[in-house]
Copies of this chain bind each other. A is one copy, B any other.
Protein backbone atom coordinates (compact mmCIF):
# COMPACT_ATOMS: atom_id res chain seq x y z
CA UNK A 1 0.00 0.00 0.00
CA UNK A 2 1.28 3.42 -0.95
CA UNK A 3 -0.13 6.52 0.73
CA UNK A 4 -0.56 9.72 -1.24
CA UNK A 5 -1.47 12.87 0.60
CA UNK A 6 -4.46 14.58 -0.88
CA UNK A 7 -6.02 17.81 0.36
CA UNK A 8 -9.52 16.59 -0.47
CA UNK A 9 -9.59 13.03 0.80
CA UNK A 10 -6.80 13.04 3.38
CA UNK A 11 -4.82 10.01 2.35
CA UNK A 12 -5.39 8.09 -0.81
CA UNK A 13 -4.43 4.49 -0.18
CA UNK A 14 -3.10 2.95 -3.37
CA UNK A 15 -2.98 -0.88 -3.43
CA UNK A 16 0.48 -2.18 -4.36
CA UNK A 17 -0.67 -3.73 -7.59
CA UNK A 18 -1.95 -0.39 -8.84
CA UNK A 19 1.23 1.55 -8.02
CA UNK A 20 3.01 0.68 -11.30
CA UNK A 21 0.12 2.11 -13.30
CA UNK A 22 0.41 5.40 -11.43
CA UNK A 23 4.19 5.35 -11.91
CA UNK A 24 3.87 4.87 -15.64
CA UNK A 25 4.96 7.95 -17.67
CA UNK A 26 1.58 8.08 -19.37
CA UNK A 27 -0.12 8.51 -16.04
CA UNK A 28 2.56 10.85 -14.65
CA UNK A 29 1.97 12.93 -17.77
CA UNK A 30 -1.35 14.02 -16.25
CA UNK A 31 0.63 16.16 -13.81
CA UNK A 32 1.21 18.51 -16.73
CA UNK A 33 -2.40 18.97 -17.72
CA UNK A 34 -4.31 21.46 -15.66
CA UNK A 35 -7.70 20.26 -14.47
CA UNK A 36 -9.46 23.51 -15.25
CA UNK A 37 -7.31 25.08 -18.00
CA UNK A 38 -7.17 28.86 -17.55
CA UNK A 39 -9.65 29.13 -14.68
CA UNK A 40 -6.67 30.31 -12.63
CA UNK A 41 -7.00 33.65 -14.45
CA UNK A 42 -9.96 34.36 -12.17
CA UNK A 43 -9.32 31.97 -9.28
CA UNK A 44 -5.56 32.06 -8.78
CA UNK A 45 -5.53 28.86 -6.73
CA UNK A 46 -6.82 26.68 -9.57
CA UNK A 47 -3.50 25.26 -10.74
CA UNK A 48 -4.38 21.69 -9.94
CA UNK A 49 -3.88 18.85 -12.37
CA UNK A 50 -5.67 15.88 -13.92
CA UNK A 51 -3.16 13.74 -12.01
CA UNK A 52 -4.65 14.41 -8.60
CA UNK A 53 -8.21 14.39 -9.88
CA UNK A 54 -7.66 10.94 -11.36
CA UNK A 55 -6.35 9.65 -8.04
CA UNK A 56 -9.36 11.19 -6.33
CA UNK A 57 -11.81 9.61 -8.77
CA UNK A 58 -10.24 6.21 -8.09
CA UNK A 59 -10.43 6.78 -4.37
CA UNK A 60 -14.09 7.80 -4.41
CA UNK A 61 -15.12 4.98 -6.73
CA UNK A 62 -13.62 2.53 -4.22
CA UNK A 63 -15.42 4.28 -1.39
CA UNK A 64 -18.69 4.19 -3.30
CA UNK A 65 -18.28 0.50 -4.02
CA UNK A 66 -17.60 -0.34 -0.40
CA UNK A 67 -20.99 1.04 0.59
CA UNK A 68 -22.86 -0.08 -2.54
CA UNK A 69 -21.68 -3.58 -1.87
CA UNK A 70 -22.72 -3.52 1.78
CA UNK A 71 -26.07 -1.84 1.21
CA UNK A 72 -27.06 -4.05 -1.71
CA UNK A 73 -25.59 -7.32 -0.50
CA UNK A 74 -23.70 -7.51 -3.77
CA UNK A 75 -21.51 -10.43 -4.57
CA UNK A 76 -18.61 -8.31 -5.79
CA UNK A 77 -15.11 -9.74 -5.46
CA UNK A 78 -11.99 -7.73 -4.64
CA UNK A 79 -10.56 -8.24 -8.12
CA UNK A 80 -13.54 -6.59 -9.76
CA UNK A 81 -13.51 -3.78 -7.23
CA UNK A 82 -9.83 -3.17 -7.97
CA UNK A 83 -10.57 -3.23 -11.67
CA UNK A 84 -13.28 -0.62 -11.30
CA UNK A 85 -10.83 1.50 -9.30
CA UNK A 86 -8.29 1.31 -12.14
CA UNK A 87 -11.00 2.22 -14.63
CA UNK A 88 -11.74 5.35 -12.64
CA UNK A 89 -8.03 6.07 -12.39
CA UNK A 90 -7.73 5.99 -16.16
CA UNK A 91 -10.93 7.79 -17.12
CA UNK A 92 -9.05 10.98 -18.07
CA UNK A 93 -5.82 9.40 -19.34
CA UNK A 94 -6.51 10.61 -22.88
CA UNK A 95 -6.88 14.30 -22.16
CA UNK A 96 -4.99 16.67 -24.41
CA UNK A 97 -3.34 19.92 -23.30
CA UNK A 98 -5.64 22.07 -21.17
CA UNK A 99 -8.24 19.29 -21.24
CA UNK A 100 -11.59 20.45 -22.58
CA UNK A 101 -10.10 23.65 -23.96
CA UNK A 102 -8.17 21.62 -26.49
CA UNK A 103 -11.37 19.86 -27.44
CA UNK A 104 -12.92 23.25 -27.93
CA UNK A 105 -9.90 24.36 -29.96
CA UNK A 106 -10.45 21.45 -32.35
CA UNK A 107 -13.97 22.58 -33.00
CA UNK A 108 -12.80 26.18 -33.48
CA UNK A 109 -10.15 24.94 -35.92
CA UNK A 110 -12.79 23.07 -37.87
CA UNK A 111 -15.70 25.47 -37.76
CA UNK A 112 -13.99 28.85 -37.79
CA UNK A 113 -10.86 28.12 -39.75
CA UNK A 114 -12.06 25.21 -41.87
CA UNK A 115 -9.29 22.87 -40.83
CA UNK A 116 -9.91 19.20 -41.47
CA UNK A 117 -9.04 17.83 -38.08
CA UNK A 118 -10.12 15.02 -35.81
CA UNK A 119 -13.01 16.23 -33.73
CA UNK A 120 -15.01 13.95 -31.52
CA UNK A 121 -16.26 16.80 -29.41
CA UNK A 122 -16.15 16.28 -25.67
CA UNK A 123 -15.41 12.62 -26.28
CA UNK A 124 -12.04 13.13 -27.95
CA UNK A 125 -10.24 12.45 -24.71
CA UNK A 126 -12.16 9.21 -24.33
CA UNK A 127 -11.18 8.17 -27.84
CA UNK A 128 -7.51 8.91 -27.19
CA UNK A 129 -7.66 7.39 -23.74
CA UNK A 130 -8.82 4.10 -25.13
CA UNK A 131 -5.95 4.16 -27.61
CA UNK A 132 -3.48 4.69 -24.78
CA UNK A 133 -5.00 1.88 -22.77
CA UNK A 134 -4.98 -0.49 -25.71
CA UNK A 135 -1.58 0.33 -27.12
CA UNK A 136 0.49 1.42 -24.15
CA UNK A 137 -0.93 0.38 -20.80
CA UNK A 138 -2.62 -2.84 -21.84
CA UNK A 139 0.11 -5.30 -21.03
CA UNK A 140 0.91 -3.61 -17.72
CA UNK A 141 -2.74 -3.84 -16.75
CA UNK A 142 -2.99 -7.45 -17.77
CA UNK A 143 0.14 -8.34 -15.88
CA UNK A 144 -1.06 -6.61 -12.77
CA UNK A 145 -4.76 -7.18 -12.42
CA UNK A 146 -6.05 -10.65 -11.88
CA UNK A 147 -9.58 -10.90 -13.02
CA UNK A 148 -12.04 -13.46 -14.19
CA UNK A 149 -12.62 -11.23 -17.20
CA UNK A 150 -10.26 -9.53 -19.61
CA UNK A 151 -9.37 -6.40 -17.63
CA UNK A 152 -8.45 -4.25 -20.64
CA UNK A 153 -11.73 -5.06 -22.37
CA UNK A 154 -13.57 -4.30 -19.13
CA UNK A 155 -11.98 -0.87 -18.84
CA UNK A 156 -12.61 0.00 -22.47
CA UNK A 157 -16.22 -1.15 -22.38
CA UNK A 158 -16.83 1.02 -19.36
CA UNK A 159 -15.03 4.14 -20.57
CA UNK A 160 -16.67 3.97 -23.97
CA UNK A 161 -20.03 3.73 -22.18
CA UNK A 162 -20.69 0.37 -23.67
CA UNK A 163 -20.97 -1.96 -20.69
CA UNK A 164 -21.55 -5.61 -21.51
CA UNK A 165 -22.52 -7.11 -18.19
CA UNK A 166 -23.69 -6.23 -14.71
CA UNK A 167 -20.31 -5.38 -13.23
CA UNK A 168 -19.33 -3.26 -16.21
CA UNK A 169 -22.65 -1.52 -15.89
CA UNK A 170 -22.05 -0.91 -12.18
CA UNK A 171 -18.61 0.47 -13.04
CA UNK A 172 -20.05 2.81 -15.66
CA UNK A 173 -22.66 4.07 -13.22
CA UNK A 174 -20.16 4.64 -10.43
CA UNK A 175 -17.66 6.43 -12.68
CA UNK A 176 -19.71 8.23 -15.27
CA UNK A 177 -23.18 9.30 -14.35
CA UNK A 178 -25.11 12.36 -13.28
CA UNK A 179 -23.89 11.65 -9.78
CA UNK A 180 -20.66 9.73 -9.77
CA UNK A 181 -17.14 9.44 -8.41
CA UNK A 182 -15.70 11.58 -11.20
CA UNK A 183 -18.04 14.51 -10.64
CA UNK A 184 -17.93 14.12 -6.88
CA UNK A 185 -14.20 14.47 -6.95
CA UNK A 186 -14.02 17.41 -9.28
CA UNK A 187 -16.74 19.39 -7.53
CA UNK A 188 -15.03 19.04 -4.16
CA UNK A 189 -11.56 19.49 -5.61
CA UNK A 190 -12.23 22.47 -7.88
CA UNK A 191 -14.12 24.12 -5.05
CA UNK A 192 -11.18 23.65 -2.73
CA UNK A 193 -8.63 25.13 -5.08
CA UNK A 194 -10.89 28.00 -6.11
CA UNK A 195 -11.52 28.69 -2.43
CA UNK A 196 -15.29 28.78 -2.87
CA UNK A 197 -18.14 27.02 -1.12
CA UNK A 198 -20.26 26.41 -4.18
CA UNK A 199 -19.08 22.89 -4.99
CA UNK A 200 -19.25 21.49 -1.48
CA UNK A 201 -21.77 18.78 -0.73
CA UNK A 202 -22.13 16.08 1.86
CA UNK A 203 -19.98 13.35 0.33
CA UNK A 204 -19.89 11.45 3.63
CA UNK A 205 -23.65 11.01 3.50
CA UNK A 206 -23.94 10.48 -0.23
CA UNK A 207 -21.52 7.59 -0.37
CA UNK A 208 -23.18 5.77 2.50
CA UNK A 209 -26.61 5.67 0.85
CA UNK A 210 -25.90 4.17 -2.56
CA UNK A 211 -27.70 1.08 -3.71
CA UNK A 212 -27.33 -1.08 -6.80
CA UNK A 213 -30.02 -3.38 -8.03
CA UNK A 214 -31.36 -4.59 -11.28
CA UNK A 215 -28.76 -2.67 -13.27
CA UNK A 216 -29.64 0.63 -11.62
CA UNK A 217 -27.57 2.68 -9.23
CA UNK A 218 -29.90 4.46 -6.84
CA UNK A 219 -29.52 6.83 -3.93
CA UNK A 220 -31.56 5.88 -0.90
CA UNK A 221 -34.23 8.47 -0.14
CA UNK A 222 -32.70 9.31 3.25
CA UNK A 223 -30.00 11.07 1.24
CA UNK A 224 -32.35 12.86 -1.15
CA UNK A 225 -31.33 16.29 0.13
CA UNK A 226 -27.70 15.46 -0.67
CA UNK A 227 -28.72 14.54 -4.21
CA UNK A 228 -30.33 17.95 -4.61
CA UNK A 229 -27.35 19.59 -2.97
CA UNK A 230 -25.02 17.77 -5.37
CA UNK A 231 -26.87 18.85 -8.50
CA UNK A 232 -27.14 22.40 -7.23
CA UNK A 233 -23.44 22.42 -6.29
CA UNK A 234 -22.58 21.36 -9.80
CA UNK A 235 -24.85 24.02 -11.31
CA UNK A 236 -23.26 26.73 -9.16
CA UNK A 237 -19.77 25.61 -10.07
CA UNK A 238 -20.71 25.91 -13.72
CA UNK A 239 -22.31 29.32 -13.30
CA UNK A 240 -19.61 30.82 -11.12
CA UNK A 241 -16.41 29.06 -12.01
CA UNK A 242 -16.34 26.97 -15.17
CA UNK A 243 -18.60 29.38 -17.08
CA UNK A 244 -17.24 32.58 -15.57
CA UNK A 245 -17.14 35.02 -18.46
CA UNK A 246 -13.47 35.87 -17.91
CA UNK A 247 -12.59 32.18 -17.83
CA UNK A 248 -14.56 31.81 -21.06
CA UNK A 249 -12.76 34.72 -22.66
CA UNK A 250 -9.31 33.32 -21.94
CA UNK A 251 -10.24 29.81 -22.94
CA UNK A 252 -11.52 31.24 -26.23
CA UNK A 253 -8.24 33.07 -26.73
CA UNK A 254 -6.36 29.88 -25.98
CA UNK A 255 -8.62 27.89 -28.31
CA UNK A 256 -7.91 30.23 -31.19
CA UNK A 257 -4.20 30.17 -30.39
CA UNK A 258 -4.20 26.39 -30.49
CA UNK A 259 -6.14 26.47 -33.75
CA UNK A 260 -3.53 28.81 -35.20
CA UNK A 261 -0.75 26.47 -34.10
CA UNK A 262 -2.51 23.56 -35.76
CA UNK A 263 -3.03 25.52 -38.98
CA UNK A 264 0.61 26.55 -39.15
CA UNK A 265 1.78 23.06 -38.37
CA UNK A 266 3.53 24.19 -35.21
CA UNK A 267 1.74 21.43 -33.41
CA UNK A 268 -0.25 18.52 -34.75
CA UNK A 269 -2.53 15.95 -33.27
CA UNK A 270 -0.46 12.90 -32.38
CA UNK A 271 -0.85 10.15 -34.93
CA UNK A 272 1.13 7.67 -32.96
CA UNK A 273 -0.07 7.13 -29.45
CA UNK A 274 3.48 7.46 -28.11
CA UNK A 275 3.53 11.04 -29.35
CA UNK A 276 0.84 11.81 -26.80
CA UNK A 277 3.41 11.48 -24.04
CA UNK A 278 4.65 15.03 -24.33
CA UNK A 279 1.41 16.43 -25.65
CA UNK A 280 0.70 18.50 -22.58
CA UNK A 281 0.15 22.09 -21.36
CA UNK A 282 3.89 22.79 -21.46
CA UNK A 283 4.04 22.02 -25.16
CA UNK A 284 1.39 24.59 -25.98
CA UNK A 285 2.96 27.22 -23.76
CA UNK A 286 6.35 26.68 -25.36
CA UNK A 287 4.81 27.16 -28.80
CA UNK A 288 3.09 30.42 -27.91
CA UNK A 289 6.05 32.36 -29.31
CA UNK A 290 4.71 31.38 -32.74
CA UNK A 291 1.32 32.85 -31.98
CA UNK A 292 0.53 36.49 -32.60
CA UNK A 293 1.61 38.66 -29.74
CA UNK A 294 -1.86 39.88 -28.73
CA UNK A 295 -3.03 36.34 -28.06
CA UNK A 296 0.22 35.30 -26.43
CA UNK A 297 0.23 38.27 -24.07
CA UNK A 298 -3.36 37.61 -23.17
CA UNK A 299 -2.65 34.02 -22.24
CA UNK A 300 0.60 34.63 -20.41
CA UNK A 301 0.00 37.99 -18.81
CA UNK A 302 -3.75 38.51 -18.85
CA UNK A 303 -3.29 41.53 -21.09
CA UNK A 304 -5.39 43.45 -23.47
CA UNK A 305 -8.74 41.88 -24.25
CA UNK A 306 -12.15 43.26 -23.45
CA UNK A 307 -15.30 41.25 -23.08
CA UNK A 308 -19.04 41.53 -23.49
CA UNK A 309 -20.97 38.93 -21.54
CA UNK A 310 -24.63 38.15 -21.82
CA UNK A 311 -27.15 35.74 -20.48
CA UNK A 312 -29.05 35.46 -23.71
CA UNK A 313 -32.80 34.99 -23.89
CA UNK A 314 -34.37 32.51 -26.28
CA UNK A 315 -34.85 34.96 -29.13
CA UNK A 316 -31.33 36.18 -28.75
CA UNK A 317 -29.95 32.66 -28.91
CA UNK A 318 -31.85 32.07 -32.12
CA UNK A 319 -30.52 35.30 -33.59
CA UNK A 320 -27.00 34.35 -32.62
CA UNK A 321 -27.48 30.93 -34.16
CA UNK A 322 -28.53 32.52 -37.41
CA UNK A 323 -25.58 34.90 -37.34
CA UNK A 324 -23.19 32.04 -36.78
CA UNK A 325 -21.62 32.21 -40.22
CA UNK A 326 -21.09 35.93 -39.88
CA UNK A 327 -19.59 35.54 -36.41
CA UNK A 328 -17.25 32.82 -37.63
CA UNK A 329 -16.26 34.93 -40.57
CA UNK A 330 -15.51 37.89 -38.29
CA UNK A 331 -13.41 35.72 -36.02
CA UNK A 332 -11.53 34.32 -39.00
CA UNK A 333 -10.93 37.68 -40.63
CA UNK A 334 -9.75 39.23 -37.36
CA UNK A 335 -7.52 36.21 -36.81
CA UNK A 336 -8.76 35.73 -33.30
CA UNK A 337 -8.67 39.36 -32.20
CA UNK A 338 -12.42 39.12 -32.12
CA UNK A 339 -13.83 36.07 -30.34
CA UNK A 340 -17.10 34.46 -29.53
CA UNK A 341 -17.60 31.73 -26.96
CA UNK A 342 -20.71 29.85 -26.00
CA UNK A 343 -21.22 27.92 -22.81
CA UNK A 344 -23.97 25.49 -22.21
CA UNK A 345 -24.64 22.80 -19.72
CA UNK A 346 -27.66 20.82 -18.71
CA UNK A 347 -27.62 20.39 -14.94
CA UNK A 348 -29.85 17.35 -15.06
CA UNK A 349 -31.83 15.57 -17.70
CA UNK A 350 -34.30 12.94 -16.71
CA UNK A 351 -34.59 11.55 -20.19
CA UNK A 352 -31.05 10.32 -20.39
CA UNK A 353 -30.40 6.77 -19.42
CA UNK A 354 -28.09 7.89 -16.63
CA UNK A 355 -30.99 9.51 -14.80
CA UNK A 356 -30.65 9.54 -11.05
CA UNK A 357 -32.74 6.98 -9.26
CA UNK A 358 -34.02 7.24 -5.74
CA UNK A 359 -34.72 4.21 -3.63
CA UNK A 360 -37.97 4.73 -1.70
CA UNK A 361 -39.92 2.28 0.42
CA UNK A 362 -42.05 1.73 -2.67
CA UNK A 363 -39.13 0.90 -4.92
CA UNK A 364 -36.86 2.78 -7.25
CA UNK A 365 -38.12 5.99 -8.81
CA UNK A 366 -36.70 8.73 -10.97
CA UNK A 367 -35.44 11.84 -9.27
CA UNK A 368 -37.76 14.37 -10.86
CA UNK A 369 -40.81 12.50 -9.67
CA UNK A 370 -39.61 13.02 -6.13
CA UNK A 371 -37.80 16.33 -6.09
CA UNK A 372 -39.67 19.41 -7.26
CA UNK A 373 -36.55 21.50 -6.84
CA UNK A 374 -34.65 19.57 -9.46
CA UNK A 375 -37.49 20.05 -11.88
CA UNK A 376 -36.80 23.78 -11.83
CA UNK A 377 -33.21 23.46 -12.99
CA UNK A 378 -32.85 24.43 -16.59
CA UNK A 379 -30.12 24.52 -19.15
CA UNK A 380 -27.40 27.06 -18.48
CA UNK A 381 -26.53 29.11 -21.56
CA UNK A 382 -24.05 31.89 -21.63
CA UNK A 383 -22.33 33.83 -24.32
CA UNK A 384 -19.12 35.84 -24.20
CA UNK A 385 -17.69 38.10 -26.83
CA UNK A 386 -14.12 39.28 -26.57
CA UNK A 387 -12.03 41.61 -28.60
CA UNK A 388 -8.65 43.17 -28.65
CA UNK A 389 -8.70 47.01 -28.82
CA UNK A 390 -7.33 46.74 -32.36
CA UNK A 391 -10.55 44.93 -33.29
CA UNK A 392 -12.77 47.38 -31.51
CA UNK A 393 -14.91 48.01 -34.58
CA UNK A 394 -16.01 44.40 -34.45
CA UNK A 395 -16.48 44.62 -30.73
CA UNK A 396 -18.73 47.63 -31.14
CA UNK A 397 -20.73 46.01 -33.92
CA UNK A 398 -21.64 43.10 -31.67
CA UNK A 399 -22.13 45.23 -28.60
CA UNK A 400 -24.95 46.97 -30.42
CA UNK A 401 -26.50 43.76 -31.62
CA UNK A 402 -26.37 42.30 -28.16
CA UNK A 403 -27.49 45.22 -26.13
CA UNK A 404 -31.11 44.31 -26.54
CA UNK A 405 -30.36 40.68 -26.06
CA UNK A 406 -29.17 40.36 -22.46
CA UNK A 407 -31.57 38.43 -20.33
CA UNK A 408 -31.30 40.63 -17.27
Contact = CB atoms under 8 A, between A and B. Distances in A.
Interface of A: 3-8, 10-11, 23, 25, 28-29, 31-32, 40, 42-45, 47-49, 51-52, 55, 192-198, 200-202, 204-205, 208, 221, 225, 228-229, 232, 236, 239-240, 278, 282-283, 285-286, 297, 300-303, 360-362, 370, 372-373, 375-378, 408
Contacts of A282: 282, 285-286
Nearest to A277: B301
Given A23-B302, A45-B48, 14 more contacts: A3-B208, A5-B45, A5-B196, A7-B45, A7-B194, A7-B195, A10-B204, A29-B301, A40-B49, A196-B202, A197-B200, A198-B225, A282-B282, A372-B376
B198 A7 contact: no
Given A55-B44, A198-B202, A282-B285, A300 B376 contact: no
16 contacts: A5-B43, A5-B44, A5-B196, A6-B44, A7-B193, A7-B195, A11-B204, A23-B302, A25-B301, A31-B44, A45-B48, A197-B201, A197-B229, A221-B408, A229-B236, A282-B285
A236 B134 CA distance: 44
A378 to B, nearest CB: 7
Nearest to A24: B301
A373 B377 CA distance: 7
B51 A48 contact: no
A28 B228 CA distance: 34
A195 B10 contact: yes
Nearest to A406: B361
A52 B28 CA distance: 25
Contacts of A375: 376
A197 B192 contact: no
B285 A6 contact: no
Contacts of A52: 44-45
A192 B7 contact: yes
A23 B25 CA distance: 37
A196 B11 CA distance: 10
Nearest to A6: B195
A300 B193 contact: no
A166 B43 CA distance: 37
A357 to B, nearest CB: 14
Contacts of A361: 408
Contacts of A225: 198, 236, 239-240
A338 B248 CA distance: 46
A6 B376 CA distance: 32
Contacts of A200: 197, 200
Nearest to A377: B373
A31 to B, nearest CB: 7
A370 B195 CA distance: 26
